Structure 1
Amino acid sequence: MRRFSITPDRIRDGRVAFDRDESRHLARVLRLKPGDTVVAADGAGHDFTVRLEDVAETVTGTVLGVATRDAESPLRITLVQSVPKGDKMEAIVRAATELGVVRVVPVTTERTIVTLEPSRWRERARRWQRVAKEAAKQCGRAVIPAVDVARPLAEFVALDEPADLRLCLWEAAASGQGGGQALPFGTTLTQSLPPTLSPHA
């Protein structure tokens, strides 16, 4: 059954109203018709079986049933990623979504090549959020990770967000340079892991 994404506020009194992008995809690309049945995932772990009623500019339907998916990892991982040049960030967001990350925080560092005005960074964040949404849909994941607007790494670190464990992925960690401590190969992690810092790709 075809899967589509909605936000929880799109469900009211047993009915679903798809947003503009999903409505366009339903009606114009797939050419679905009233009476067809689809799955609408609310990004919070719920899959709604929906029978389409009105296939127009805003597609609406009736909820036939709901299933709660329990396939999420017990590790709540936040990926803090230095923004690479080109469109590599889209591939990173896509892979992070498929691997179960719950939040992606793009950051800029002293070696970041990309420089944009604040409004352009907000546009990029919206685009990366759409990538996460599509990746979740394609891999069958019920939860869509949040993608923040890019900010300086120092600004994010200063927030000092609570974390059970912080990891920095660094290719020279095994050599002991910089005073860091490498995890032994095969270490089993059972904690929540925000944030995980990834180097510039």
Structure 2
Amino acid sequence: MALHFLVESASDAVVGDVVSLTGAEAKHAAVVRRLRVGEEVTVGDGAGVWLTGAAEEVSPTRVEVRIARRSEHPAPSPRITLVQALAKGDRDELAVQAACELGVDEIVPWQAARSVSRWEGPKAVKGRERWATIVREAAKQAHRSWLPDVVAPASTRQLAERASSQRVLVLDPTAAVRLSEIEADGRDLMLVVGPEGGISDEELDRLTEAGAERVRLGDTVLRTSTAGPAAIAVLSVTLGRW
């Protein structure tokens, strides 16, 4: 399969144009992946534009790609949003990476009551940037035409407010309804995944009072790093993406 790269300038490129990869993208292509002149690659802008072309020049500082084909992919609908509670170690980062590869459309960091990790001040900015970098690399690996958004950390109150415009599904291992049993109704979906210690009763009450639905994946309890990606896989089948 051809290598895939993300370049903002891809938005305006047409067949016959040359798109340049520079900086980290060029170095990765030339040094890490050992791209050669004449090899086919794909280039996207992360917003639906998909270009296919061949490398005409390859160096660690610049890669030139002559575009042979262009297409535009519509944004997925309904959208799937993952609300991922902050977790210790790299568990939340593992969840973000896998969720992107599996097709999530938006990622919302959540400072849950039982989150061990805390994002405060400059750490919140750094944490969001870190997640955005993970998402970008995962999107390239998965050859995604749309790059998921990583938005600012949200509070439980803000999550409850989104229940008025989205269908909110809270993963709760004690819920009576299985995620695989729900039927799509056309609304965008927002999955809420708690931290290692689970979602507190107060948070569950606030979300359900706002209209959120409590659902479970199965009879076992998954780690916070695997629950979200597993749920996205289930929803991908429900929505007909897979």
Closer, same or farther: CA 185–126 of 1 in aligned 2, 3 Å: closer
> Which residue is equivalent to 1:167?
169
Q: Which amino acid aligns with 1:104?
A: I
Alignment gaps of 5+ in structure 1: 175-181
TM-score (norm 1): 0.79
TM-score, with structure 2 as normaliser: 0.68
Q: CA deviation at 1:114?
A: 0.9
Q: Which residue does the alignment assign to 1:65?
A: 69
Match among 15, 20, 25 for residue 17 of structure 1: 20
CA offsets per residue over residues 141-194 of structure 1, 9 Å max, x none?
32221112334333x3375475242221112222xxxxxxx4685222142324
Matches for 1:99-178 after TM superposition, within 5 Å? 99-154=102-157, 156-157=158-159, 160=162, 163-174=165-176
Report the identity percentage.
28
8 Å contact kept, 2:166–2:190:
no
Question: Alpha carbons of 1:123 and 1:54: their partners in 2 closer, same or farther (altered >3 Å)?
Answer: farther
The structure-2 alpha-carbon separation of the partners of 1:60 and 1:170, relative to structure 1 and needing over 3 Å to count, comes to same
Root-mean-square deviation (CA, aligned residues, Å) is 2.7
Cα distance change, pair 8–48 in 1 and its aligned pair in 2 (3 A): same
Check if 1:29 corresponds to 2:24. no
Aligned to 1:81: 84
How many residue pairs are counted as aligned between the two chains?
Answer: 192
2:100 maps to: 97
Instruction: Work out the CA distance in 2 between the residues paired with 1:62 and 1:120.
Output: 41
Aligned partner (choices 191, 208, 212) of residue 196 of structure 1: 191
CA distance in 1, matches of 2:36, 2:178: 54
Deviation per CA, 1:79-133, whole angstroms, max 9, x where unpaired?
1111111101121112212332100001102211112443232222222222222
